Amino acid sequence: MDLVVVADPLDRLDPAVDTTLGVVSAALARGHHVRACGPADLAIVDGAAVARTYDVRRGDTRWTRLDDADAVLLRTDPPVDRAYLDATLVLDRVDPARTLLVNDPRGVRIANEKLWALEHADLGPPTLVTASADQIADFVRQHRTCVVKPIDGFSGHGVLRLGDDDTNAASIIELSTHGGRRQVVVQPWLERVREGNKRLFVHDGEPVAAALRFPVENGDFRIGLPARMVEVDDRDREICDRLRPGLRELGLFLVGLDVIDGLLIEVNVTSSGALRKCDRLLGSTLCADFVQLMEETIRRRTS
C-alpha cells in the first residue's frame, strides 16, 4: 500500500501518544510505503491534487500526484480554520474512485465535531447552540450546571463549566461568546462523567473497540488519558447503527465517538485520536487493526 499522510510535522508529535505516528509505525511494520506532507505542501496542478511529500523512512522529497496513492490520510489537528478548510478543498481534487480518502474532505467540512451529532439529537443530551446571553442563562437555570464549548474547539480547549449560582456567570458567557458575536454549544453537566467518558472507536461505521477516560484529579473537569478498555455494549451499537449511513455517505472512515452515560456528546472526524494512547497504555492493537482495515478496504475496491 502506498500511503500519503497529510499531517502536522511528524517530528513535533509525541510518539508515545500520537495516533498519526501510531498509524504510520503500524503501516511501516506491515511493509507499506509511507510519504508525508503538511497542509501547506498541497497544490493543484492541471486540475489534479499534488503534494510535496517526503519518504518517512528514507527522507527523500518529491512532488507526488495524490491520485497515485492507494490511500491519503488527513490527520491535521484542529482547529478547522481557513488553512484547514483550504487544504480540504485541494484534497477534493483527489479521485475517490482511485484513492481511499481518510477522512473524505467533504465529510470533514460537513460534519462539525460539536454539531453533527445533532443530526440525531435524541441520542445526546439537551443541547443549546446560541450566542445569546439570555438564552444561555435560561438554559443554565433550567439545568443548574452546564458545560459551554466553542463550536470549533478541540481537546478541551475553551471548555467552561457554568453553574446557576456562579457570581461571574455573565463574564463567562461574555468571554465564551466573544461578546455575543459567536455561537457556543451548551449542554448539561453530566455527573456520571465521573464513571467514565467512553471513547468509541468507529472504523467504516462499525464500532471496533471502546475505552473509558476519567476527569483528571487536579480539579479540571476535562477528560484525562484512557484508563481501561471496555466492551462495546448494546447502546454503543445502537448509536453506531443510527450514525453508520451518514458516516459512510460522508466518507468518514475513521471516527471517534464520545459517549457519557449512554449519551452521544461529540463525533470526532478530523484527527480522531486515542488509538495510540490505548495501544501504549492498555495493550490494544488499534493502530495496526486500522491499517489492516485500510488494506482490506483497498483490496475490495480494486478487486
For residue 238, give the CATH number of its domain: 3.30.470.20
Look at residue 185 and tell me if it is in a domain: yes
* Residue 219 and residue 181 share a domain: no
Confidence (pLDDT) at 155: 76
DSSP 47-91: TEEEEEEEETTT--EEEEEGGGSSEEEEEPPSP--HHHHHHHHHH
Q: Which amino acid is at 21?
A: L
**CA neighbor of 252 nearest in space, from 300, 299, 202:** 202
* Residue 199 and residue 182 share a domain: no
Look at residue 118 and tell me if it is in a domain: no
Confidence (pLDDT) at 218: 56
Q: Give the CATH number for residue 140.
A: 3.30.1490.20
Domain span including residue 163: 126-189
Look at residue 112 and tell me if it is in a domain: no
* Residue 97 and residue 22 share a domain: yes
* Residue 242 and residue 271 share a domain: yes
Look at residue 70 and tell me if it is in a domain: yes
For residue 302, what is its C-alpha cell?
480494486
C-beta of residue 80 within 8 angstroms of C-beta of residue 115: no
Confidence (pLDDT) at 217: 64
* Residue 274 and residue 205 share a domain: yes
Last residue of a domain, one of 165, 189, 213: 189
* Residue 150 and residue 101 share a domain: no
Confidence (pLDDT) at 270: 94
What is the residue-level pLDDT of the chain in tens, covering all 303 positions?
A: 999 999 999 999 999 899 999 999 999 999 999 999 999 999 999 999 999 999 999 999 999 999 999 999 999 988 899 999 999 999 999 999 999 999 999 999 999 999 999 999 999 999 999 999 999 999 999 999 999 999 988 877 889 999 999 999 999 999 999 999 999 999 999 999 988 899 999 999 999 999 999 877 654 555 677 889 999 999 999 999 999 999 999 999 999 999 999 999 999 999 988 999 999 989 999 999 999 999 999 999 888
Confidence (pLDDT) at 281: 87
Q: ∠ CA(118), CA(115), CA(274), 5° rounding?
A: 110
Confidence (pLDDT) at 23: 98
* Residue 202 and residue 256 share a domain: yes
* Residue 225 and residue 138 share a domain: no
Confidence (pLDDT) at 302: 84
* Residue 203 and residue 180 share a domain: no
For residue 300, what is its C-alpha cell?
475490495
Q: ∠ CA(90), CA(252), CA(302), 5° rounding?
A: 80
* Residue 168 and residue 207 share a domain: no
Q: Give the CATH number for residue 49.
A: 3.40.50.20
Look at residue 45 and tell me if it is in a domain: yes
Cell match 435524541: residue?
A: 122
Look at residue 254 and tell me if it is in a domain: yes
Last residue of a domain, one of 158, 189, 220: 189
Number of structural domains (the chain) is 3
Look at residue 27 and tell me if it is in a domain: yes
